[in-house]
Structure 1
């Protein structure tokens, strides 16, 4: 493929990426999980996020050529973005939004081997499939960049947001410098049982603007248990009788459940209600987005979320149940104490001054959340920390 001086961008979309997030399935790998997610009312979102990325790219660099494959694996997103595109013969069937396999992803990557940069929309499982295809291509493989669209986005090859992916791709065409980024993945079956065991799968060549990439998730195993428990005690001390508290996934929020003597989930989203006189009751565990919306509607509610180490994400990574409409409902009265963020001082220090990030799927809502938020770092300890929309941190 020749660029005509403007560059050629390839696009591959895993249309089922992220399908299990909002319905609490903690991943989307496997046909059975995908069918279960659709049965629970999940809506595919990867195509929409890919469209946002390519629309941003073409607005910034209108002379670029976009090449993709048929159906939901790319063409549908290009159409939704209302941008010109070309189709490459891939051997992939005309996929729909609920039918796609790892083999399809690998075939699509192979068909786009001649591009200057390959964009792919998905999560860590998709990154793994892209890496498999890149290994087969050898020296013919182009650099790649992930558009975050999965439930888990722990790998370092993803842009901070779909819009950021478009900006990075446009800049890469002008300055084609690349670097290596790690691909990690989890065993989803173990993950659903609360066993977090990420492993390094390999590395991919990505645009060199690392500040605009997510970076590999840093584990929280080094955090002193006493520090996490002190954060949990502070949250328990802040409970307002009658209010409901949404506990997002993670070890720090799970410590809040333990402090309250409740059987909450490590990787799910739970709802508890504070009692008069102290303590709380478990209202519902491991809820879907739809269930969560009904549980918070018309109720005084506080959302309690932890920070992803090394990345800084508060919203949009593993907690898709806390959707834009849930956030709108909870934050509607403008109270500044309806969102509690939890992080150890060590985790904040690991960000090196970079802000916390929101990628809820609604850019306007993310902009409203931007500013400063109180982060609880211990018992009777907190700090004010900047939070911003992931789409605007480096290209606002």
Structure 2
């Protein structure tokens, strides 16, 4: 019996802009690196591949040289064949060139690490008949072709290796205009579909767009959140629901960034991961966050400024989740998800949270990454 032929692509620049508050990486990789961003896409792929390490004798990894796949695959002991020599400084067209080379192979699955921009690059070249799956490593992940976490992506590959009955479905490739995104405007566009393993426990739904229309509900949620701030230094995450808190306080809000307030006054706005660590050292903290509609992620989607170190500093008991009941009902019972980049932290954050859904109104809701159960 032949080996499982796994096409592997890593976008080494994916996610660089998130931790330094650039809202993405497209066209700003050099700026992100200059601000101290550290490439982490290879670590995300490593987390996915770790799930299938026990099966490596049954797998042939077909990939690009160096940081685009070869290095991590060989380090982990996988049989590895290189079909594309990547330059030291990769660009979007390198992903496309790797895909073009992989089309000459008879792949069982194409596994790639990146964000929505990477998914677009794969889609631009990939054959409609090749099953693909993304390992989430970017800032923007609106597309439905990604696992809910890197570990979840690995679990899907494991199911294929164990010959579990896994259906295939067409999933949307989405992306947004990063230039508009950095000014606070979300302008999403559907680019097409790719064939992905249909495993709803592990593969994320496409993000639901649109703002909450019921301003009274948001005002009630904001009023309850403000009562809970007390004397703490408060970290205000991104999104419209949390933005309602800033509006209620009459403070300027970074809709797609992270702000700090104390005593109902703005301390600093649109902060990077390092800036947040510097400003919160030895402080009593509370973190106010919401979920992405349709997906349920509360960490790891568009708020990578909230680093694992910062979240540990805050502590699980000081994480305050805000959401309308409409958003929670739309999850249809699926749990909330944390994908901080640190699987051990993600496990520690599981459990039931008292989600603020109105003024003195709460819903107990579970954070329980299915792939880490």
Alignment-derived partner of residue 314 in structure 2: 330
Alignment-derived partner of residue 293 in structure 1: 277
**1:222 CA drift (Å):** 4.8
Matched, 1:132 2:124: yes
The one of 209, 212, 230 aligned to 1:240: 230
What is the TM-score when the length of structure 1 is the normalising length? 0.90
Post-superposition Cα deviations, 1:141-197, rounded to whole Å, max 9, x if no partner, equal 521000000001111100011111111012124246311111110000000000011
For 1:253 and 1:61, how far apart are their aligned partners in 2? Answer: 44
Matched, 1:100 2:90: yes
The one of 261, 271, 275 aligned to 1:272: 261
Distance change >3 Å, CA 340–CA 108, structure 1 → 2: same
What count of residue pairs does the alignment treat as equivalent? 369
For 2:249 and 2:43, how far apart are their aligned partners in 1? Answer: 40
**1:223 CA drift (Å):** 3.9
For 2:44 and 2:285, how far apart are their aligned partners in 1? Answer: 29
For 1:310 and 1:372, how far apart are their aligned partners in 2? Answer: 19
After superposing on structure 2, the runs of 4+ consecutive aligned residues of structure 1 that deviate more than 4 Å are none
Alignment-derived partner of residue 42 in structure 2: 47
Distance change >3 Å, CA 273–CA 395, structure 1 → 2: closer
For 1:73 and 1:394, how far apart are their aligned partners in 2? Answer: 25
Alignment-derived partner of residue 320 in structure 1: 304
The one of 8, 11, 15 aligned to 1:11: 8
For 1:346 and 1:59, how far apart are their aligned partners in 2? Answer: 42
What is the TM-score when the length of structure 2 is the normalising length? 0.95
Q: Is the partner of 2:195 in helix, strand or coil?
A: strand
Is the Cα–Cα contact under 8 Å of residues 114 and 137 in structure 2 kept in the other structure? Answer: yes
For 1:294 and 1:395, how far apart are their aligned partners in 2? Answer: 31
Q: Is the partner of 1:304 in helix, strand or coil?
A: strand
Alignment-derived partner of residue 34 in structure 1: 29
1:133-152 mapped onto 2 (5 Å cutoff): 133-134=125-126, 137=127, 141-152=129-140
Of 216-225 and 310-319, more deviation after overlay is shown by: 216-225
Post-superposition Cα deviations, 1:338-381, rounded to whole Å, max 9, x if no partner, equal 11001110000011111111111111111111111111111121
Matched, 1:372 2:366: no
The one of 267, 282, 307 aligned to 2:291: 307
For 1:79 and 1:240, how far apart are their aligned partners in 2? Answer: 52
Alignment-derived partner of residue 111 in structure 2: 119
Could you tell me which runs of 5 or more consecutive residues in structure 1 were left unpaired when the two chains were aligned.
Answer: 275-279
For 2:327 and 2:185, how far apart are their aligned partners in 1? Answer: 21
Is the Cα–Cα contact under 8 Å of residues 26 and 191 in structure 1 kept in the other structure? Answer: yes
Alignment-derived partner of residue 79 in structure 2: 85
Matched, 1:251 2:240: yes
**1:395 CA drift (Å):** 5.6
Is the Cα–Cα contact under 8 Å of residues 237 and 289 in structure 2 kept in the other structure? Answer: yes
Post-superposition Cα deviations, 1:75-107, rounded to whole Å, max 9, x if no partner, equal 122134x122322322x4343xxx221110011
Alignment-derived partner of residue 200 in structure 2: 210
**1:225 CA drift (Å):** 2.1
Alignment-derived partner of residue 277 in structure 1: none
Q: Is the partner of 1:210 in helix, strand or coil?
A: coil
Is the Cα–Cα contact under 8 Å of residues 68 and 85 in structure 1 kept in the other structure? Answer: no
The one of 169, 186, 191 aligned to 2:157: 169
Is the Cα–Cα contact under 8 Å of residues 115 and 137 in structure 2 kept in the other structure? Answer: yes
Is the Cα–Cα contact under 8 Å of residues 223 and 344 in structure 1 kept in the other structure? Answer: no
For 2:31 and 2:158, how far apart are their aligned partners in 1? Answer: 37
The one of 178, 194, 199 aligned to 1:188: 178
**1:293 CA drift (Å):** 0.7
Is the Cα–Cα contact under 8 Å of residues 66 and 86 in structure 1 kept in the other structure? Answer: yes
Aligned-residue RMSD, C-alpha: 1.6
For 1:220 and 1:299, how far apart are their aligned partners in 2? Answer: 35
For 2:364 and 2:57, how far apart are their aligned partners in 1? Answer: 40
